[in-house]
Amino acid sequence: MSVLPRLTHMGEGVYLLDPALKEVGPKHLQLRARPYERIMDYVYTPMPLERLSRAQIHIVNMLREHLIEGKHIGGTDNQIKDKFAEVIRSVGAERVLEWGCGFDSLQTRLAGISYEAADIDLAVINFQRKRGAICRLTENVEKNIEGKVDVIPSIFVFQFGISNDHIAAMSNVLAPRGFVLANVYRRSPESRNRLRKKLAGHGLSVYRRRDLEYLCKGNEYWIASRDLDETESVRLLDRLNGSRTGDDGGPEVPAPGYATASHASAPLLSVAGAG
């Protein structure tokens, strides 16, 4: 496919299609013999997203903030943030650590709950600190945080690379019955399975549901916890889908080979179909 003529190189191999032109580019294209994927409607990044460097993620963060401020995107992001905040409140969480908070964090939706954040981007950390938030570099979370947290929400983060060190830190700071709450999209089935196994390797059982509202491409909701039981995990995941349990209102039927709950020492349990 030919290169779009109006793409601007923003650095580190990340390109922007000017939203003011009101053009929609192809979902995929080739740039300098490399495959690129369109994200956030106007941004093209090398594929796959899980291999983006920290510098590339920084540029994506800056472009995301620019597009949100210009009201070119943000509807889906706000919908998922609202859903996560509602679930966090429903479990009576007292302390939250948002992982990969970005510039537009969950904090304003969690008034009355002790809120802290972590990010890999120093520009984000400085921005959040100026707003008065406790925000740390992800590498420094475990050694600097005191006590445990009830929920670790992570919105539009798990499509990027999640290191074993980061997963270990999340697992180690969770309180009893605490859990990671994430949405996962733009990963292949194989990539999702690799990520699930990495979480399981740090003692976290993983439950996941398709996003039945199809808010974005291949979106799923994940809960990862050491000790939150299946019934409660599935109840919370269904709550994200408006308490729906299947496309037609009936029970959701597992798809063969689509493992949705795992633990290092537990059998696989299917609770959702392939997204």
CATH of domain 75-248: 3.40.50.150
* Average pLDDT of span 252-266: 35
Please determine, for residue 214, whether its predicted confidence score (pLDDT) is greater than 90. Answer: yes
Please determine, for residue 245, whether its predicted confidence score (pLDDT) is greater than 70. Answer: no
Q: Which helix (H) or strand (E) holds 78?
A: helix 75-90
Nearest to 151 by CA among 174, 169, 130, 171: 174
- By the 10 Å C-beta count (0-12 exposed, 13-18 middle, 19+ buried), 138 is classed as buried
Residue count (the chain): 275
* Average pLDDT of span 25-29: 89
Contact 153, 102 (CB under 8 A): no
Q: Can you give the pTM of this predicted structure?
A: 0.86
- Residue 5 is predicted with a pLDDT of 57
* Average pLDDT of span 126-143: 94
Nearest to 153 by CA among 109, 96, 111, 110: 96
Handedness of CA 104, 106, 111, 116 (dihedral sign): negative
Please report, rounded to a whole number, the percentage of residues in the chain having pLDDT higher than 90: 73
C-alpha distances out from residue 69 to 1, 84, 125, 136, 228, Å = 31, 22, 19, 24, 38
Contact 209, 238 (CB under 8 A): yes
Interval 141-194: pLDDT, tens: 988 898 999 999 999 999 999 999 999 999 999 999 999 999 999 999 999 999
Please determine, for residue 253, whether its predicted confidence score (pLDDT) is greater than 50. Answer: no
- By the 10 Å C-beta count (0-12 exposed, 13-18 middle, 19+ buried), 149 is classed as buried
* Average pLDDT of span 75-92: 96
Binned at pLDDT 50, 70 and 90, residue 46 comes out as very high
Which backbone phi and psi does 142 adopt, to 5 degrees?
-65, -35
Domain boundaries, the chain: 7-69, 75-248
CA 139 and chain centroid, separation: 18
Contacts 24+ apart (CB under 8 A), 268-272: 269/207, 269/230, 271/207, 271/208, 271/209, 271/230, 271/234, 271/237, 272/208, 272/209, 272/210, 272/220, 272/237
Lowest mean pLDDT: which of 14-23, 59-68, 246-255? 246-255
Structure tokens at 101: 């908070």
- Residue 271 is predicted with a pLDDT of 35
